[in-house]
Amino acid sequence: MSETTDPDEHTVEQLQDELAGIDSPRELEGMLDAEKDGQRRKTAQEAIRARMREVGPAEDDAVEEGTETEGEYRESADEVEGDDGAAGEPGDAEGDDADDLALDPAEYDIAEFGPAIKGVDDSEELEAILAAEENGEDRDNVETLIESRIEKVSEVEKEAEGDIDPSELSTAELGNALQGIDDEERLQEVLDAEQAGENRDAATNLIQNRIDSVQEEEAPEEIEVVPPEEKHPDLDHPTADKQYVKAIENGNYRDMWVYCETQAGELIDVSKEMLGKARALMDTYNEDYETDERVVAVLIGSDVEKHTEDVIAYGADVVVHHEGPRLERFQHKPYTELFCDMARWGGDPTADEGPEEADWREYDEPRYTVFPATNNGRDLSALVQGELDSGLASDCSDLYIEEAMISNPVKTGRPGTKKEFERVLHMKRPDFSGFEYSTILCLNNPTREFHPQGASVIPGSFDLPEPDHDREGEVVDHDLDLEEDWLQVSVTDHDQLDEGVDLTGHDVVVAMGRGIGDDPTEGMELGLELADAFEDCGLGVSRGIVTGSYEFASHIERYTAEERQIGETGQVVEPDLYIAAGISGAVQHKVGMDESETIVAINTDPDARIRDFSDFFVEGDLFEVLPELTAALESGELDVGAVAADGGKR
């Protein structure tokens, strides 16, 4: 073979060009052998074999049947056909065998073969594949993979076959065999067989050690619970003076409770949103777990009984309410005490007392509690969950219920193990970064139960449901005397504040962000001018404007107030057109505007997060783009191409 046709010195494409000029079968055979011994490229080998089939035996290479040379060529030709996956002529045993293989190794390169062989779990099939490889391409690395798989499968098959007879094994072989057995009863049978047979001290010790090892693995570690005050007596703990709330042991938990907040005597929208979500969650829950748990609405205040029919219409099965003229305004202590007494229904875990008998419930505490993430709702949710000795995920934007597989040893009780928790409320909330979400779980510890699983929900996170006034539900009047020290604060007079700026009813909303930083006053003025160019448009801001240290001219300051903030802690808007200028797109802002019909974002950063959920993205400086948009609107000719060319890029 000439140097010019050495396959190692050619790419596959170059080799194909070279092959077109080679007509000698022997030279082609040499090239094939060189490729097998060298780079072992599957595509290169296929190209050489294809050329060998085209060329066939040349006239000057033809020999008589039965000669050694003819036999060599016949073997090479058969190899070509076998490697190419052809079945061969009728009666070709090698071709028939290839058809019967679980997989034909000749059809795979080494990278593909490794994953493929893992799907074969029969040792006899693996032996056939090994034989095919040895009779075919005979690649060492492929054969090593097959042999390794045979060894692994054989061990599994042997283990599945049943008992180990220690009399047939040396001590060393017995030790290896025992490592794959984790069943204590089976190990004991092996020990009994050894003691009844040869009763070798070394073998007996091996088996007994394995039994002891399995028992240690199965025995859960003793978890010592030490209060933090005792564990760290040198530290000043703010909880040292707090009465320890004893968690319920082996408690019975049911139902999803929803705190329905009222303001100025009216049921606020987020309460209705939570009821609709709770209804959907519990309908699915009851279907999945074949049970009949309910949605329980909680009303606390003055003249809240008038809302009982409404909360049933929005999804509640039961309404528990407490009326009182002294509860007209929200106060932390009485509202917390009342909610917790409702949840425990007179029970006192610190005195090992369960709930009082009631014809509407037969459980210790709620399974889930949901609160609105309003100013009052955030305070109440934290106080209630702390008093009930459980946890809280605040400011959530989504909730769902499903199983959770957990490996945390604090929850499983043992390192290196996994445990599946059922009926877990998954509480999804934005991270502090504003760009990612976290899902919070409230799970039991081996020595402590955490119920109810609690969450507060950002207003606007769920759709406002349509009320069904034909629904029926149970109304429960809660009775508990208010203690005087719960009501140490009284409101003697108050003024009704203006409702502030409502951005929710506009067809268009222009929102300004940190991109105004080069000239804050001018940036806000440009946003105002654009908003004025529309017939019905409101001007909003991101949280970065509200909390930032920008200096604005006096005539602009009122447009940067918190009442205009859009996002999870501000207003939630759904206009036909939302224009975001200089806003990066943090999750907290996204939840306040991502239901808008059309979103146009303007930002100098082409990788800004807001680009991912915008319908149109203009890469450019708002100080240049906004004047173009305003001029186009005022003239009645909005030329997006001109805007992109003069300061931005669509």
pLDDT in tens, 523-576: 999 999 999 999 999 999 998 998 888 999 999 999 999 889 998 878 889 999
Strand 577-581, strand 474-477: pairing: unpaired
Long-range contacts of 562-565 (CB under 8 A, 24+ apart): 563/500, 563/501, 564/501, 564/503, 564/539, 564/540, 565/540, 565/541
Q: Answer yes or no: is pLDDT of 609 > 70.
A: yes
pLDDT at 244: 47
Preceding omega of 430 cis (within 30 degrees of 0):
no
pLDDT at 425 over 70: yes
The span from the CA of 650 to the CA of 628, in Å, is 14
Q: Which residue has the tokens 């222009």?
A: 510
Name the least confident of 93-107, 363-377, 503-517, 559-573.
93-107
Measure the CA angle with vertex 447, ends 446 and 449; round to 5°: 85
Q: Regarding predicted confidence, which is higher, 85 or 435?
A: 435
- pLDDT surpasses 60 at 390: yes
CA distance linking residue 330 with residue 489, whole number of Å: 11
Q: What confidence tens digit (pLDDT) does each residue in 143-171 have?
A: 888 888 888 777 666 655 556 788 888 88
CA distance 386 to 398: 22
Which of 207-216, 490-499, 510-519 has the highest mean predicted lDDT (pLDDT)?
510-519
pLDDT(518) > 80: yes
Among 281, 252, 646, 632, CA closest to 455:
281
Q: 253-486 has which CATH code?
A: 3.40.50.620
Q: Considering the chain, what percentage of its residues have pLDDT values greater than 90?
A: 41
Residue 116 amino acid letter: A
- Give the bridge partners for 358, in sequence order: 361
> Identical fold at 253-486 and 508-645?
yes
Say which range, 131-135, 146-150, 414-418, 519-523, has the weakest mean pLDDT. Answer: 414-418
More confident residue, 102 or 388: 388
Residues forming a β-bridge with 301: 323
Element (H, E) at 322: strand 318-323
Domain residue ranges in the chain:
1-86, 93-161, 165-218, 253-486, 508-645
- Cα–Cα distances in angstroms (integers) from residue 317 to residues 25, 338, 406, 510, in the given order: 86, 20, 33, 42
pLDDT value for 417: 80
Predicted local confidence at residue 71, as pLDDT = 38
Most confident of 4-8, 132-136, 315-319, 449-453: 315-319
Residue 20 pLDDT = 80
pLDDT at 579: 97
pLDDT grade, residue 94 (50/70/90)? very low
pLDDT of residue 57: 58
Does residue 641 carry a pLDDT above 50?
no
Question: Which of 390-394's residues contact partners 24+ apart within 8 Å by CB, and which partners?
Answer: 390/442, 390/450, 390/451, 390/452, 390/453, 390/454, 391/442, 391/450, 391/453, 391/454, 392/442, 392/454, 392/455, 392/456, 393/427, 393/429, 393/440, 393/442, 393/454, 393/455, 393/456, 394/429, 394/455, 394/456
pLDDT of residue 506: 92
- pLDDT the model gives residue 412: 84
pLDDT at 215 over 50: yes
Least confident range of 49-58, 302-311, 382-391 = 49-58
Of 185-194, 256-265, 308-317, the least confident: 185-194
Q: Is the model more confident about 496 or about 404? A: 404
- pLDDT score recorded for residue 638: 64
181-201 pLDDT tens trace: 778 888 888 888 889 888 888
| pLDDT of res. 155 | 66
Whole-number pLDDT of residue 83: 44
What is the pLDDT confidence band of residue 221, given thresholds at 50, 70 and 90? low
**Hey, what CATH topology would domain 508-645 get?**
Rossmann fold (3.40.50)
pLDDT at 133 over 90: no
Quickly state the pLDDT bin for 91 (edges 50, 70, 90).
very low
Arithmetic mean of pLDDT over the chain:
82
